[in-house]
Amino acid sequence: MIKFNHVFKIYEKNIKALEDINFSISKGEFVFLTGPSGAGKTTILNLLYREDIPDMGSVFVNNEDISHISDRKLPFYRRNIGFVFQDFKLLFDRTVFDNIALPLVITKTEKKFIKNKVEEYINKTGLCGKEKLTPWHLSGGEKQKVAIARAFITNPSLILADEPTGNLDDESSWEIIKMFEEVNKEGTTILFATHNKELLQKMNKRVIRLNKGKVISDESI
């Protein structure tokens, strides 16, 4: 599903964000990406999102070199990916309902379908009764649940998560992890960046460790 082939990313002043990164992830895998701050976790996610392109090497998603996706086709590529970030990235002037519905609204989906779908995910994430609130009135955990519902609602084949539990207390973190596990059981590939060691040990999944832009280990714990 995902293949990094000798990927280099160098920022200005010769800062090597990534150096010769090689790994593959199969369809349906749940993989953690870990390492200290600045190790290159976010850069890898940005490359997968086509926010950035590698300076050398290639990134394949579904056997397609994503560096070559044209600007015109880029939005359609991104519709196959769900994202969840540490800082939620919600639209604060819209309701919970509108935030979750966003990926469907931009594809001009039928209204009734959107309503049913959003209600389904509001139930799944336990946000019942909060549909009409704006994110200002939600706790950190609830905000992240909105972001998760938004990422999951299109049934993407790949979900990228960048420290989604970073701002949350333990209880909310576990609730959220459970949601990722569930969607993974349904076949969605997940790449989950975190430096929460406890999480890595308890989850018992494949872990790719990064340090200073290099892969230092890739193993199942």
| C-beta of 24 vs 62, nearer to another protein | 62
CA distance 65 to 170: 38
Judged by CB under 8 A, does residue 89 bind another protein? yes
| C-beta of 56 vs 105, nearer to another protein | 105
Judged by CB under 8 A, does residue 94 bind another protein? yes
| C-beta of 99 vs 173, nearer to another protein | 99
CA distance 113 to 154: 12
**Residue from 3, 16, 78, 195 binding another protein (CB under 8 A):** 78
- Specify the pairing of strand 64-65 against strand 56-61: antiparallel
| C-beta of 96 vs 207, nearer to another protein | 96
State which of positions 58-77 bind another protein (CB under 8 A).
71, 75-77
Judged by CB under 8 A, does residue 83 bind another protein? yes
Judged by CB under 8 A, does residue 106 bind another protein? yes
Q: In angstroms, what is the minimal distance from the CB of 190 to another protein?
A: 17
Q: CB–CB of 123/97 below 8 Å?
A: no
Q: Point out which residues pair with 84 in neighbouring strands.
A: 161
Helices (H), ranges, 89-216? 96-105, 111-124, 140-152, 170-185, 197-203
| C-beta of 15 vs 91, nearer to another protein | 91
CB atoms within 10 A of CB 68: 9
* 3 state SS of 149: helix
How far apart, in Å, are the Cα atoms of 75 and each of 69, 106, 109, 201, 209?
A: 10, 10, 16, 36, 30
CB atoms within 10 A of CB 115: 13
Fill in the per-residue mask, 125 to 164: x = in contact with another protein (CB under 8 A), - = not in contact: -------------------------x--------------
Q: In angstroms, what is the minimal distance from the CB of 117 to another protein?
A: 14
Which span (8-16, 60-68, 78-86, 119-127) binds another protein, by CB under 8 A? Answer: 78-86
Residue 133 DSSP label: S
CA distance 55 to 165: 30
**Cα-Cα-Cα-Cα dihedral of 93, 95, 101, 105, to 10°?**
-50
| C-beta of 87 vs 198, nearer to another protein | 87
Which span (2-10, 19-27, 87-95, 184-192) binds another protein, by CB under 8 A? Answer: 87-95
| Number of residues located near another protein, criterion CB under 8 A | 19
Q: Which parts of this chain interact with another protein (CB under 8 A)? A: 49, 71, 75-79, 83, 89-91, 93-94, 102-103, 105-107, 150
